[in-house]
Amino acid sequence: MILPFSMARKKSAQVFLDMTDSELKNVPIDYYSLKLTSKQFEKISRLVYQISGIDLHEGKEELVKARLLKRLRHLRIADFENYLKYVENDQSKAEIRTMVDVLTTNKTHFFREPEHLDFLRDVIIPGLPKGPVRIWSAGCSSGEEPYSIAIVLQEILPQAARYEVKILATDLSDRMMEKARQGIYDEETLKTLPRQLTLKYFRRVDFKTGHDHGRRYRVIPELQSMVSFAKLNLMNEWPMRGLFDAIFCRNVMIYFDKPTQEKLVSRFWSYLREGGYLMVGHSESLTFLSHNYRYLQPAVYRKVNPQAVVRAKPVLHRGK
Which residues, at least 6 apart from 153, have a Cβ–Cβ distance to it below 8 Å? Answer: 120, 125, 133, 165, 167, 226
Active-site annotation holds for 171: yes
d(CA 158, CA 161): 8
- The one catalytic residue among 71, 79, 134, 171: 171
Tell me how many degrees the CA angle 198-199-202 measures, rounded to the nearest 5.
65
Q: For the chain, what is the HEC assignment?
A: CECHHHCCCCCCCCHHHHCCHHHHHHCCCCHHHCCCCHHHHHHHHHHHHHHHCECCCCCCHHHHHHHHHHHHHHHCECCHHHHHHHHHHCCCCHHHHHHHHHCCCCCCCCCCCHHHHHHHHHHHCCCCCCCCEEEEEECCCCCHHHHHHHHHHHHHCCCCCCCCEEEEEEECCHHHHHHHHHCEEECCHHHHCCHHHHHHHEEEECCCCCCCCCCEEEECHHHHCCEEEEECCCCCCCCCCCCEEEEEECCCHHHECHHHHHHHHHHHHHCEEEEEEEEECCCCCCCCCCECCEEEECCEEECCCCCCCECCCCCCCCCC
From the candidates 67, 97, 181, 302, give the one annotated as an active-site residue.
Answer: 67
How far apart, in whole angstroms, are the C-alpha atoms of residue 178 and residue 224?
13
Active site residues: 67, 171
